[in-house]
């Protein structure tokens, strides 16, 4: 029994009086699609992962951190999903000393349980404006891995989607050929009377 199933699977490749050129083309299109997915999806994924990781690490270029003092108690930031205050981060007004020795203040993300007078670290750009903390190397690697995986899967989906479109077009063309053949067979000249 397994031998018969394997013969059914490979019918497009064997000599067969019912095999059409479109069947052979469909089989080769499938082989090409699989090869393209196997060869390009990993390359696209690794390339995108490396680029995303480098981009994430480049966010920290030009930033420097300074110690700042909280001027008020930190208020929790509401969560985007639940609408309630989350325990991960908060916003508060902080004061720090700039590179020229003057004092500056602004609102920054701090730990949720921070109290007025406590110290925290803030990240500044070259113009001494508060910026989000740059990702750590582990965070940059995780972002790169996620984007690389998504890019590889996306490439595979695009290639297999194109293969599916080719199959649907071939099926539509074969349906038209079937209709023509049936119409030619069913004419009064070709139809047998009992």
Q: Where are the domains of the chain?
A: 63-139
CA distance 33 to 10: 17
Phi first, then psi: give them for residue 135, nearest 5 degrees.
-70, 150
Tokens for 3? 């031998």
CA distance 111 to 95: 16
Give the relative orientation of helices 137-185 and 21-58 as an angle to the nearest 10 degrees: 160
Query: What average pLDDT score do residues 164-174 get?
Result: 92
Query: What average pLDDT score do residues 119-126 get?
Result: 85
Q: How far is CA 13 from the centre of its chain?
A: 36
Q: Minimal CA–CA distance to 74: which of 23, 110, 127?
A: 110
Which residues neighbour 92 within 8 Å (Cβ) at sequence distance 6 or greater? 70, 71, 72, 73, 74, 75, 107, 108, 110, 114
Q: What's the pLDDT tens digit per position in 27-38?
A: 889 889 999 999
CB count, 10 Å around CB of 64? Answer: 13
Asked whether 13 and 26 are in contact (CB, 8 A), the reply is no
Reported confidence tier of residue 54, pLDDT bands at 50, 70, 90? very high
CA distance 153 to 99: 47
Higher pLDDT, 124 or 141: 141
CA distance 14 to 24: 10
Mean pLDDT of the chain: 82
Reported confidence tier of residue 1, pLDDT bands at 50, 70, 90? very low
pLDDT computed for residue 50 by the predictor: 94
Asked whether 174 and 20 are in contact (CB, 8 A), the reply is yes
The pairing of beta strand 119-124 with beta strand 130-131 = antiparallel
Q: What's the pLDDT tens digit per position in 142-162?
A: 999 999 999 999 999 999 999
């Amino acid at each position: 029994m397994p031998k018969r199933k394997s013969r059914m699977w490979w019918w497009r490749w064997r000599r067969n009086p019912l095999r059409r050129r479109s069947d052979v083309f469909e089989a080769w299109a499938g082989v090409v699609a699989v090869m393209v997915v196997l060869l390009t999806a990993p390359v696209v994924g690794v390339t995108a992962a490396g680029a995303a990781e480098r981009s994430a690490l480049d966010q920290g270029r030009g930033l420097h951190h300074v110690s700042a003092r909280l001027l008020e108690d930190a208020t929790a930031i509401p969560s985007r999903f639940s609408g309630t205050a989350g325990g991960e981060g908060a916003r508060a007004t902080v004061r720090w000393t700039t590179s020229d020795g003057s004092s500056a203040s602004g609102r920054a993300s701090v730990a949720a349980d921070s109290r007025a007078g406590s110290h925290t670290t803030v990240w500044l750009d070259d113009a001494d404006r508060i910026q989000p903390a740059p990702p750590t190397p582990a965070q940059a690697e995780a972002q790169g891995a996620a984007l690389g995986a998504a890019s590889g899967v996306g490439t595979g989906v695009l290639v297999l989607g194109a293969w599916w479109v080719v199959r649907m077009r071939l099926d539509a063309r074969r349906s038209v050929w079937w209709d023509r053949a049936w119409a030619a067979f069913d004419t009064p000249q070709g139809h047998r009377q009992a």
